[in-house]
Structure 1
Amino acid sequence: MMLGILGGMGPLAGAQFLARLTLLTPAERDQDHLPCVLWSDPRVPDRTAARLGTGPDPLPALLRGLRALEAAGATAIAIPCNTAHGWFDDMRAACPLPILHIVDAAAADLARQGVAPGPIGLLATEGTLAMRLYQQRLEAAGWDVLVPDAATMADVVSPAIAAIKAGAVGPAGLPLRAAAAGLVARGARAVVLGCTEIPLGLPEGPLRDSLGVPVVDTIDALALAAIGWARG
């Protein structure tokens, strides 16, 4: 078996996924790790812009990456980009390999952390929120998804995500922490970091300690799902 990683969205998130996959895998030697191949293509058109109608369709580039991973010997696919999952059904229809769904991985991590049905907070891109990727799947499982208001998205979350993509990881942490705290103040019993750039500026451990509620890092959640797949 070999895991194919459809990355580059952004490049740092894909690299972080590979690092976390390695660190989270129970292993005592090289040979205990999961064989994988990373396709990191930052040329994929912006997913949020496409979903909001202001940019080109990323699907052809996504399918090109899937074909490359299949040709390289991948037997399953992980995509460490939440917004790209807006094209999940199209990718699954075009690719014979199983594709792990990052929202299902987040749901499994919520359950693993003992988060009961009820209100949870979500930080994500405007595209992910507009597609209701998390709302549909998590609400079906009993969680009520709270999201930042339009002003917080425009003034805080979206600029912070853009800053991380531009390499300004450190300065993004404080505004993202404030946005997460706002969700907890509204009653969220947990916070899902539903953009794989966000954990880069807002690590899950310190955030959990400061908020006092469980936090789901979707990079880690997807890595755990991939490890689960590899185990059978």
Structure 2
Amino acid sequence: MSCFYTLSTPRNLCSSLILNADEGARFSPPQANKNLNSGKLASSTPLFTHGTTLGIIGGLSVDATLTFLTKLVHLHGGHSIPFLLCSDPLLNKDLLSYERGHFVSATSKKSESLKLDSSSPIVQNLRNKRAFLEKSGARCIVMPCNISHCWYEQVSIGCSVPVLHMAECVAKELKEAKLKPLEAGSPLRIGVLATNPTLEAGFYQEKLKSEGFEVVLPDKATMEHTVIPATEALDRKDIEGACNLLRIALQVLLVRAVNSVILASEDMRALLPQDDPLLKRCIDPMDALARSTIKWVRSRSSGDNT
């Protein structure tokens, strides 16, 4: 199995390198890691030495990862950012299979635990990629994928560089926005719409509550009659049907006096047209992650003389 890596430097916007990996996603460099400009490096030598190098672990799809990169470039004024990107088709497939295989009710008291232990293939794959990026010179690591954050703690533990948390980025931005409740005397309510594994993992609920928000989730009926069928329709390529079901799910949350709805699903966010009025009430977590990433880049740039 091979994984595709994109290496970007200020002088070379996009170069690529193929690294071999075994079934456990443990990487072995080609005959020698190659510096983008000058030949061989010892396997222990970082690929990058830039103080602002990003390490990016791709998620459910290449399209979603490329969307995140596009957001970074746009927010950075079109300027190049040094980054290393891991895009592994095996991980994409495993994450998608895991997400689709857990259609349990987000509100069920007897719902099964969706946490995987540290020995599971998905967790090991994510941890190995994180370790590779860290050793290759990444000074900050991001995962532009909601489902990957189900194992954020297991992936980030022991990492020597920051690993940004998508839900934390969203919660902090909402706090800084100084929103006011839609109903006088009521708490600030934020809705979260996602597939079951993301809701069951609870990391959005945890981060939002830590910032003082009341979290509103889809009830059992909404999950069973709109969210799950929308995902199934999307798998059948019934885009119109999936879009209509998503609109219903959003409206159900909005009538519960939420200020905004976090669309914590790459598939769901891509369904609605850009001019859809419902999108004005929605938050794309990938936007918040991209903005936080650029803030980190800019905070480091003044001290980066490499």
TM-score over 0.5 for the pair = yes
1:158 and 2:228 equivalent? yes
* Structure with greater helix percent: 1
Aligned match of 1:180? 250
Paired residue secondary structure (1:97) = coil
Q: Deviations over 1:153-198 (max 9, x none)?
A: 2332234346557776665333212211110011111111122332
Q: How big is each residue's C-alpha offset from its partner over 1:209-229, in whole Å with a ceiling of 9 and x where there is no partner?
A: 337x64211111111010011
Partner of 1:227: 294
* Paired letter, 2:57: L
- Which structure 2 segments of 5+ residues have no match? 1-51, 103-112, 181-186, 300-306
Q: Which stretch of structure 1 is more off in the superposition, 178-187 or 166-175?
A: 166-175
Paired residue for 1:84? 148
5 Å-filtered alignment, 1:83-102, equals 83-102=147-166
Alignment partners' CA distance in 2, 1:77 and 1:61:
15
Q: Which residue number in structure 1 is paired with residue 278 of structure 2?
A: 210
Q: Which residue of the other structure, out of 31, 37, 52, is the alignment partner of 2:84?
A: 37
1:74 aligns with 2:138: yes
- Name which structure has the greater RCO, CA cutoff 8 Å, separation 6+: 1
What is the TM-score with the length of structure 1 in the denominator? 0.83
Native 8 Å contact 2:116 2:123 kept in 1: no
Q: How does 1:78-157 map to 2 (within 5 A)?
A: 78-116=142-180, 118-157=188-227
- Structure 1 letter corresponding to 2:197: G
Moved more, 221-230 or 78-87: 78-87
Length, aligned pairs only: 225
Q: Deviations over 1:64-115 (max 9, x none)?
A: 2212322443211111112221211111214222100001111133235443
Match of 2:59, as an amino acid? G
> In angstroms, what is the RMSD of aligned CA positions?
2.8
**Alpha-carbon distance between aligned partners in 2 of 1:89 and 1:156, rounded to the nearest angstrom:** 31
- What is the SS of the residue equivalent to 1:77? strand
1:12 to partner: Cα distance:
2.1
* Contact 2:59/2:143 (8 A) holds in 1: no
Structure 1 stretches of 5 or more lacking a match?
none
Larger Rg: 2
State how 1:6-17 maps to structure 2 within 5 Å: 6-17=57-68
Q: State the Cα deviation string for residues 35-68 of structure 1 (Å, max 9, x = none).
A: 2222122322335458537995521110122123
Letter in 1 for 2:65: G
Identity fraction in percent: 33
Maintained 8 Å contact 1:115/1:214: no
Secondary structure, counterpart of 1:152 in structure 2:
helix
